[in-house]
């Protein structure tokens, strides 16, 4: 068994954050000798929920992080009300997130902040060589090459929490072993490394066919539920209300990702996420609709064999896998029910009704500045739709037009990416002004 795991949960008040707290409480019960412990929790709003979750965790996290002074005042009151003043300190602002992510006592950072707001803290955790449970896919969409290069330098393990990518990671276990085996020298020199250290060192996949580094892998196949508009007509989608779009048939998630699932922009972001996480070109990634959300993704190998990962739609399983990898322990997520009939269908995607998807493939193909522009436009368009300023179908239109309006660069610096994040938000907002919802 490994040493204890001390965790920073960034975005603890969200759907991923709450599920992580649940997983840690369960791990403390099932693996008490490993000293699972949450060292810090962060939140942006709902400060009462944040402090309440800190109070409920055992032991109480030593740091609570809030984004700004306004929330800090409320947090101080809540901390005092729960009599936690002696147990934990309050840290405030974006730098506080980075401090929590890089705390020397933290082993694993769960990146559960939504959107671009999670970029700096996630990148800081990667640069500090932490294990990162990555839910915040936007970080890879915006800055994939920067993040993966930082991980290669620091030895940080990027463990996907996104269920599709966790599924693929699990399906690739054999390919990873093969890569590690082939990269061993035939007659290894006698090593002075402690064998216990050798087994826990992260294994990187470093060889493969000409265009990617996964031996024997032909394609990664991401499943998509299809969201609430899977069977809707174009006209119905044009007139869709926020309430209808927020009514996801299989997953209970935060608002932004729920809208992204309805437009299928979420799958677009996941195509780009897969490209950077697994180092595969866009033409080796496929998307297939699977409305039941039980098959979380599949990997097709060169011999035609397809390996899939199955479990009920519950994020606690991929979160726990990221925390305990390579160990497997009992999990609070329910097991796959086997006393009833499961219909598991795989349906080809209708690209005409879900134009957002093609944007994901295109962005994954061209890389460079395209990811940050797509993400900035989408993060601007989603709240505009939720507040009734644009139609549901305008989200993908705005994203496409913003992409078309930008001058693509292939190897931008992080500073340039952040400039383009600001530019793309402004551009998408300008474009939205020209749209009439009447
Ligand atoms: P959520 O809206 O439920 O929670 C978001 C969290 O981020 C909250 O704790 C919020 O306080 C924090 N936050 C928001 N804006 C912030 C800011 N400006 N500064 C600091 N913190 C801020 O979102 P979620 O559904 O938990 O999703 C979180 C991330 O995980 C997203 O990137 C999403 O795509 C990804 N993800 C979520 C699920 C899921 O099932 N919910 C599945 C896969 C991936
Ligand atoms: Mg997903």
pLDDT by position in tens, the chain (length 438): 444 589 999 999 999 999 999 999 999 999 888 899 999 999 999 999 999 999 999 999 999 999 999 999 999 999 999 999 999 999 999 999 999 999 999 999 999 999 999 999 999 999 999 999 999 999 999 999 999 999 999 999 999 999 999 999 999 988 877 777 777 766 654 444 343 443 344 444 333 445 667 889 999 999 999 999 999 999 999 999 999 999 999 999 999 999 999 999 999 999 999 999 999 999 999 999 999 999 999 999 999 999 999 999 999 999 999 999 999 999 999 999 889 888 899 999 999 999 999 999 999 999 999 999 999 999 999 999 999 999 999 999 999 999 999 999 999 999 999 999 999 999 999 999 998 665
In angstroms, the Cα distances linking 96 to 47, 69, 99, 414 are 16, 12, 5, 20
Do 296 and 309 contact (CB within 8 A), yes or no? Answer: yes
Cα pseudo-dihedral 277, 252, 266, 98, rounded to 10: -50
Distance between Cα 251 and ligand 1 center (Å): 14
Is 187 flagged in the annotation as binding? no
Is 393 flagged in the annotation as binding? no
User: What is the helix (H) or strand (E) element at residue 57, kind and residue range?
Assistant: none
Best residue for ligand 1 mutational test, from 135, 139, 318 (most atoms within 8 Å of Cβ):
135
Check the CA dihedral 240-244-249-252 and report its sign: positive
Predicted TM-score (pTM) of the model is: 0.93
In angstroms, the Cα distances linking 150 to 211, 380, 389, 411 are 21, 28, 39, 15
Report whether residue 257 contacts ligand 1, using a CB cutoff of 6 Å: yes
Best residue for ligand 1 mutational test, from 114, 116, 259 (most atoms within 8 Å of Cβ):
114
Two tokens, residue 408: 């693509």
Distance between Cα 159 and ligand 2 center (Å): 14
pLDDT of residue 436: 61
Is 37 flagged in the annotation as binding? no
pLDDT of residue 177: 78
Rounded CA gap, 438 and 130, in Å? 50
Q: Which residue's alpha carbon is nearest to atom 41 within ligand 1? A: 253
pLDDT of residue 435: 80
DSSP assignment of 271-296: HHHHHHHHT--GGGEEEEE-TT--EE
Distance between Cα 136 and ligand 1 center (Å): 7
pLDDT of residue 37: 97
* Closest to 20 in 3D by CA, of 34, 2, 36: 36
Is 82 flagged in the annotation as binding? no
Distance between Cα 118 and ligand 1 center (Å): 9
Distance between Cα 69 and ligand 2 center (Å): 33
Rounded CA gap, 102 and 121, in Å? 8
Distance between Cα 301 and ligand 2 center (Å): 22
pLDDT of residue 342: 83
| Nearest ligand to the CA atom of 268 | 2
Atom from ligand 1 closest to the CA of residue 269:
34
Length of the chain: 438
| Nearest ligand to the CA atom of 135 | 1
- Strands 306-310, 295-301: parallel, antiparallel or unpaired by DSSP? antiparallel
pLDDT of residue 186: 63
Q: Cβ neighbours of residue 52 under 8 Å, at least 6 residues apart?
A: 78, 82
pLDDT of residue 209: 47
Distance between Cα 112 and ligand 2 center (Å): 13
Report whether residue 140 contacts ligand 1, using a CB cutoff of 6 Å: no
Atom from ligand 1 closest to the CA of residue 251:
40
Distance between Cα 115 and ligand 1 center (Å): 7
Atom from ligand 1 closest to the CA of residue 136:
32
Report whether residue 117 contacts ligand 1, using a CB cutoff of 6 Å: yes
Best residue for ligand 1 mutational test, from 257, 261, 269 (most atoms within 8 Å of Cβ):
257
Report whether residue 13 contacts ligand 1, using a CB cutoff of 6 Å: yes
Atom from ligand 1 closest to the CA of residue 11:
9
pLDDT of residue 206: 39
Best residue for ligand 1 mutational test, from 111, 113, 120 (most atoms within 8 Å of Cβ):
113
């Amino acid at each position: 068994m490994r040493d204890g795991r001390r965790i920073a949960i960034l975005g603890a008040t969200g759907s991923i954050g709450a599920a992580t707290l649940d997983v840690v409480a369960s791990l403390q019960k099932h693996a008490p000798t490993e000293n699972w412990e949450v060292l810090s929790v962060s939140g942006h709003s709902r400060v009462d929920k944040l402090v309440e979750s800190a109070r409920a965790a055992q032991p109480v996290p030593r740091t609570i992080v809030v984004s700004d002074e306004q929330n800090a005042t409320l947090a101080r009151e809540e901390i005092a009300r729960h009599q936690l003043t002696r147990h934990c300190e309050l840290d405030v602002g974006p730098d506080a997130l980075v401090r929590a992510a890089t705390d020397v006592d933290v082993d694993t950072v769960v990146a559960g902040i939504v959107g671009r707001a999670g970029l700096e803290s996630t990148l800081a955790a990667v640069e500090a060589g932490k294990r990162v449970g990555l839910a915040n896919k936007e970080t890879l969409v915006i800055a994939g090459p920067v993040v993966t290069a930082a991980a290669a330098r620091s030895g940080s393990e990027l463990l996907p929490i996104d269920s599709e990518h966790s599924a693929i990671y699990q399906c690739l276990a054999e390919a990873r072993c093969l890569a590690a085996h082939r990269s061993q020298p035939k007659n290894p020199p006698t090593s002075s490394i402690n064998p216990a250290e050798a087994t826990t060192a992260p294994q990187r996949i470093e060889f493969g066919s000409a265009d990617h580094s996964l031996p024997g892998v032909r394609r990664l196949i991401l499943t998509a539920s299809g969201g609430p508009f899977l069977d809707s007509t174009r006209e119905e989608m044009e007139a869709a209300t926020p309430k209808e779009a927020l009514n996801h048939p299989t997953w209970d998630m935060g608002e932004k990702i729920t809208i992204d699932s309805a437009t299928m922009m979420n799958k677009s972001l996941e195509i780009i996420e897969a490209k950077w996480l697994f180092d595969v070109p866009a033409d080796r990634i496929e998307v297939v609709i699977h409305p039941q959300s039980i098959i979380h993704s599949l990997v097709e190998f060169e011999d035609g064999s397809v390996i899939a990962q199955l479990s009920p739609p519950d994020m606690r399983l991929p979160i726990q896998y990221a925390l305990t990898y390579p160990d497997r322990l009992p999990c609070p997520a329910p097991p796959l029910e086997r006393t009833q009939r499961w219909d598991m269908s795989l349906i080809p995607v209708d690209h005409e009704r879900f134009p957002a998807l093609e944007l994901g493939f295109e962005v994954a193909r061209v890389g460079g500045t395209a990811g940050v522009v797509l993400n900035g436009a989408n993060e601007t368009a989603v709240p505009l739709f939720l507040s009734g300023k644009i139609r549901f179908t305008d989200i993908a239109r705005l994203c496409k037009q913003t992409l078309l309006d930008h001058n693509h660069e292939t190897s931008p610096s992080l500073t340039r990416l952040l400039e383009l994040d600001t530019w793309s938000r402004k551009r998408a907002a300008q474009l939205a002004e020209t749209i009439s919802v009447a």
